[in-house]
Amino acid sequence: MTDQQVETLSKPTLIAAEPQLFVADIAASCAFYTSKLGFTVAFTYGEPPFYAQVVRDGARLNLRCVPAPPIDPQRRDNEHLLSASITLDNASLLFLEFQAACVEFHQALRTEPWGAQTFTVRDPDGNLILFSGQGE
C-alpha cells in the first residue's frame, strides 16, 4: 500500500452540517418550519423546550432558544448575513411552494451570475436561510 492510499484510508469523512439558528420561542419556530417550510420536528429538548431540530429531506436545522438576538437585526439585513444555506435540486419549484405558503422572502428567486438559482427566506426571528439550486 502506498503512502497516499494509507493517508486516504485514515482521513475522516464529513457527513453533514447542521446549522444552529437562534430563536426566541422553540414552539413558534417549530410551527413555522413545519407549517410554512415543510420540515418535520425531529426532536425538542427541555421543559420548556430550549432546543430542537427540524428536518426536511437531507436538510437539518438546529433551533436554540436565546433571550435576545445575538446579531444586530439591521446589520444582518443590510449585509445579508445568512444563518444557513441549503442546496437543492430545483429552486424554482421550492420557491413556488413557499410563495403559496405566504413565506416572507428576504430575496426573491433569481439566477446568479454563476448560474445557480437562489432565494432567501426570513424566519420569524429574522434568520436568513438561503436556498440554492441549479439554474434552468
> Each residue of 7-41: pLDDT tens digit?
667 788 888 899 999 999 999 999 999 999 999 99
pTM of structure:
0.88
Task: Determine the residue type at 56.
Answer: R
Query: Looking at residues 125-130, what average pLDDT do you find?
Result: 97
Is the separation of the CB atoms in 119 and 107 below 8 Å? Answer: yes
Contact 65, 51 (CB under 8 A): yes
With CA atoms as reference, report the closest residue to 21 among 75, 78, 61, 50.
61
Give pLDDT, residue 29.
98
* Average pLDDT over all residues of the chain: 93
